Amino acid sequence: MKKREDSIVGFIGLGLMGGALAMGLRKQGPREIWGYDLNPAVIKTARAQGVIDEGVWDSAGLQKMLPQCDLVFICLTPMDTLAFLALYMEDFKPGAVVTDIIGVKEVVFKNLGNLLRKDIDYIPGHPMAGSEKEGFGGADDRIFKNRNYILTPLPTNHPENIELIREIVTDLGFNHIVETTTEIHDQKIAFTSQLCHVIAAALVDCEDDLSITDFEGGSFGDLTRIAMINAPMWTELFMCNRKNLLDQIEKFEASLEAMKEMIRLDEKEELINRLKSVREKRVAMGEIREAKNLKNL
């Protein structure tokens, strides 16, 4: 793999995340940045803003772009990622490093073996960052600051290329990089990301008063920001990780039902003890995270 300053970097998809990543990579000084998006207007805007040097929006353009890219970020949904790899695998530059940013891994991992060329180093990744905004117009690389980045390396990955990705994402602002398996990734993400989006959506869905925010003091807004959701994308993520997500929903329902019964039965001491335990657990989570942040300084 070439050094970053000598490399041509390509982005497949210039939506919110692809756009933000391209903005961040621009600051790292690669030789060139290319972008692909189905919408020619997005390519025009990205070029005008100096985020990319060249852009394409069709198959002919991709067949020109991919053979030149030393590093490629695929910023598509899981199913679109698989379809893209199946269609364009023969067009990648020999020796290219390819990574993705998709939010579930097992569904892709199980199909990668039949798609990957042996001279392509495919390193799955997942930036734990985002925004309630959508599209390139909402892209901002500041969303990466002090966030987690998860890598699920494959057995065939070259250590030097994994290290390259780690260096790039660290320079993007991520302060904690986790390496794990695709299976563990999907189990954990079902709780920390997907369940949170389900809860936020359900909370908004259960109230019909559109003026209810007149009565909120911040908690409602904090809890429901992510309910402004990209519905097709998140539906695909939920369905691709269905078993893990259903397990987490059931655990949440059990906890909610237990507290509901304490309130219904006027079990004040039991509820106090439960809430104290919850507070202690959340404080401990924060302390562990802070300790890891200090270790990474």
What whole-number distance in Å separates Cα of residue 191 and Cα of residue 177?
18
My answer on whether 104 and 146 are in the same domain is yes
Residue pair 56/64 in contact (Cβ under 8 Å)? The answer is: yes
Mean pLDDT of the chain: 93
What is the number of structural domains in the chain?
2
Does a structural domain hold residue 289?
no
Tell whether the model's pLDDT for residue 297 goes beyond 80.
Answer: no
Domain co-membership, 92 together with 199: no
Does the residue 159 lie in any domain? Answer: yes
Please say whether the beta carbons of 24 and 173 come within 8 A: yes
Q: What's the confidence (pLDDT) of residue 61?
A: 94
Long-range contacts of 118-122 (CB under 8 A, 24+ apart): 118/156, 119/94, 119/95, 120/89, 120/92, 120/94, 120/95, 120/96, 121/1, 121/95, 121/96, 121/97, 121/156, 121/157, 121/158, 121/161, 122/98, 122/154, 122/157
Q: Is the pLDDT of residue 1 over 70?
A: no
* Within-domain flag for 115: yes
pLDDT digits (tens, 9 = 90+) for 107-131: 888 888 778 899 999 999 999 988 7
- The CATH number for 245's domain is 1.10.3660.10
- Whether 9 and 154 share a structural domain: yes
- Of 180, 202, 237, the last residue of a domain is 180
Query: Is 291 among the domain residues?
Result: no
Residue 115, pLDDT score? 83
What CATH number is attached to the domain comprising 45?
3.40.50.720
Q: Which domain holds residue 232?
A: 185-265
State residue 291's pLDDT score: 82
Domain boundary residue, one of 180, 206, 230: 180
Q: Is the same domain home to 32 and 134?
A: yes
